[in-house]
Structure 1
Amino acid sequence: MEQSAPRPAGLGPAGLGGASVAERGTRARVARLILEHGPVTAAALGERLGLTPAAVRRHLDALLADGMIEPRRAVRMGQRGRGRPAKQFGITDAGRSAFEHTYDDLATSALRFLASRAGEQAVAEFARDQVADLERRYRPVVDGAPADQRVRVLAEALSADGYAASASRAQVGGEQLCQHHCPVAHVAAEFPQLCEAETEAFARLLDTPVQRLATIAHGDGVCTTHVSPKRLNETDEENKESGGTSV
């Protein structure tokens, strides 16, 4: 069941000094946009929120001072342009923690109880059952997309569920699926079965091998999954149907 996001603890009155209620609300929106969309520029934030450059800068300075965000070096894609790339801002571990659900302790305790009574395998089955609903919902969308767009479509579906995901070409071939937010990161740190079940679901949805390279649960800034190019056995099947042979 979808839960409304709690107000970040670090963005409360104590963290903002004499900021007004309106300023606290806007600052929380700025921080959440940075969390959900990955590193972004001040100009992009101003456009999304309808704020002036001066207002955006004021909120960014406050979030930087509180350790909620940090400047990131922009990676220029494609043809190089003139001048330096615009500065981007990304969420810090402290900023991400401020958005964590308040049910982490309860969920962790429940899984500990399940593991102690029924064993680790029961936790793995529980994780697969939880991911099964996500897989059922995403299946029609992913299957309906062209083969070369399925990772991007999966990223969009994950983003709609609050995972702030993105897709890009991998330097070593294939693609990378990145999730900038994980609502169960603290629980998954103790129970990696949650990450494993999700990775298995990605492989089934994309019908190709995938490999989890990094996870927020293990202290990385982003959950990164490498998606291999479409399996070569499809060529074998086509050759068999046409009466040919593969080499």
Structure 2
Amino acid sequence: MVPVAAVTAVAAAHIVPAATWLPRFRTACLPGLAGVGRPGHVALTFDDGPDPESTPHFLAVLDRLGARATFFVLGESVSRHPELTRHIAERGHELAVHGWTHRRPWLPAPGRDVRETALAARVVHEAAGRRPQWYRPPYGVLTSGRWAAARCAGLRPVLWTAWGRDWTARATPDSVRARVRADLRGGGTVLLHDTDRAASPGCWRAALGALPGLVAACRDAGWEVGPLSEHGLATARGT
């Protein structure tokens, strides 16, 4: 029988790093993980795609705004929609890894984390023609296993400094804008979602409606808007 103390120690080692999910703690103590970059730039990021129903709408709006972003995609969705994934890259956006599926990480599974993260990085590379640099775990829960898996795959974990809570059933364009702007600063990283895959049905429309106003607010403040690759963060490969 495995001693209780050993089980407790393994569980703690697995889940304690997930405290980085707490936004104020993360931004104050681990600004690099939070995505704090150069002061004159705001990184715009989207999670959970690609989704053929909703992602093209975001690409169209970004085209109209003349803005580029980083899309944290799920490997499983990339394998189903490689042409859409390629299209994201062809429109000038950056692709990053959000895992293979949107599985909750409560139980330790380091071997699976390594395999699935590496597989997700590979299918993104194959679809986009460029090796991804960044990793954001589903739900923003960065366990020790997922941290190690990202590093093994040559990816740097990056979370966010501002989000829109755009995954809820009550989200509206106004609520998303207000929630992001409450924490919006130069050098910040904004989290939105270009799909309702892991959220309330249709909630992506709130993020889509908020997008023009958020980009305008950044530009009015004198901040550039762009992908993480232009945000001034070092990658896992040190470039």
TM-score by length of 1: 0.25
User: If each structure's helix is expressed as a fraction of its own residues, which one has the higher value?
Assistant: 1
Rg larger for: 1
TM-score by length of 2: 0.25
Q: Could you say which structure has the greater relative contact order, defined with CA pairs below 8 angstroms and 6 or more residues apart?
A: 2
